[in-house]
Structure 1
Amino acid sequence: MLKDFKPVLGILLRFIIIYVVLLLAYQFYLNRFQHEGLDPFSRTIAAQVMDIQNYLGYPTQLYDDVKGEQVYFYMNKEYPTRLVEGCNAVSVMILFVAFVFAFYKGKKTFAFVLAGLILLYVMNVLRIIGLNIVVIDYKSYSKVSHDYVFPAVIYGTVVVLWLVWIKFFALKNENS
């Protein structure tokens, strides 16, 4: 009976191992910057958000709160939002990578993961910009946007990528 579940258990075990290793590596990375404020990856995202918002006509400056490990966006003479480590979507990217590599299919796995990570990165930057604009221009929608709409954007992107990976790559017959 266990023989029937061997492929599923193999996929599940690969997923768990990859997820835990990547999560531990990310935590190790974060620990290196614990007393320096926000980590460099999150800080890069904040700077890119600021640059794009400035280009779009939403003058933005960043205020670095080292002690709070966050960066505030300064827009329209107020601090409408802040970026913390959890906003960088790395945890979502780790989940994506672990899932795709659980269904490993050779070199195309690496190409798909790279393309997916780039897409997730861009979607996350756009998500933060969208949230900042909603908070500035449509304050009454800020809570629902932060709690539901914009998380659905990033998680929805992951789900679509997973479905594409499974349908067009992982379950595709190698001989066809």
Structure 2
Amino acid sequence: MLNLFKTYKLVIRFILTFLVSYFVMSLGYKLYLDYSKTTTFQPDYITYYVAKQSQEFLSVIGYNAKIELHEGEAWVRLFFNGDYIVRIIEGCNAISVIILFVAFIVSFASTLKNTLLFIAAGSVIIYIANVLRIGLLTIGLYYYPNLEHILHGVVFPLIIYGMVFMLWVIWMNYFVKRKKNHAPAKAL
């Protein structure tokens, strides 16, 4: 049994590091959400600003967009060209995706500097891509409401999770140092 642990030490360390970091960040996020229920921002501060920035993105590219909060609703309504098109809920703010991304990076940590810089850069990239995703999804749903299932359920999750996967690949290929076998080659 001890030999088995020695053989798979790196795999076990990855799994434990991933689970602990994911659990700690998820617990912190849950505490934040619980605290947010007592503040003036509903559903929560981050979700509100994701909605606001999505509305600003749509306005910058020339569309008439505005957001509204309604008492008792746990989401932000996003209006597009005067029509109520989407509601932005807590699950739309990409924090859960960022937590998953960070837990993976921490599990394969490199130097402290590289790890922290990559986490910061990757989190910003995911956040911005999510704001753009919501804006583009709003446009898509306005013009093609019959494609809601495909746009919301397939295309845009594929984009956001595909991007996270690509960030992980970049991290593993360019920043994580692998142990190399330096044993001399045997002569034939």
Report percent identity of matched pairs: 34
Q: Match of 1:2, as an amino acid? A: F
Aligned to 1:117: 123
After the TM superposition, which of the residue ranges 154-163 and 59-68 deviates more from structure 2?
59-68
| Aligned-pair CA distance for 1:172 | 4.5
Aligned: 1:23 with 2:29: no
Check the 8 A contact 2:69/2:76 in 1, yes or no. yes
The structure 1 residue matched to 2:164, chosen from 145, 152, 158, is 158
Contact 1:38 1:66 (8 Å CA) reproduced: no
CA distance in 1, matches of 2:75, 2:25: 23
Once residues 114 and 71 of structure 2 are traced to their aligned partners in structure 1, the CA distance between those partners, rounded to angstroms, is 41
- Unaligned 5+ runs, structure 2: 181-188
Letter in 1 for 2:91: G
Which residue number in structure 1 is paired with residue 186 of structure 2? Answer: none
Task: Please list the CA deviations of residues 10-56 of structure 1 after superposition, one character each: whole Å capped at 9, or x if unmatched.
Answer: 11111100000000000000001125421111111111111111121
> Which stretch of the first structure deviates more once superposed, 86-95 or 52-61?
52-61
Which residue of structure 2 lines up, in the alignment, with residue 6 of structure 1? Answer: 9
Q: Secondary structure at the match of 2:122?
A: helix
Question: Secondary structure at the residue paired with 2:175?
Answer: helix
Give the secondary-structure state (helix, strand or coil) at the position aligned to 2:147.
helix
TM-score after normalising by structure 1:
0.94
Cα distance in structure 2, aligned partners of 1:79 and 1:168 = 44
How many residues are paired up? 174
The question of 1:170 aligning with 2:176 is answered yes
Say which is worse superposed, 135-144 or 9-18, in terms of deviation: 135-144
Instruction: Structure 1: give runs of 5+ residues left out of the alignment.
Output: none
State the AA in 1 paired with 2:116. F
Q: How does 1:15-94 map to 2 (within 5 A)?
A: 15-35=18-38, 36=40, 37-94=42-99
Bigger radius of gyration among the two? 2
Question: Normalising by the residue count of structure 2, what TM-score does the alignment of the two structures yield?
Answer: 0.88
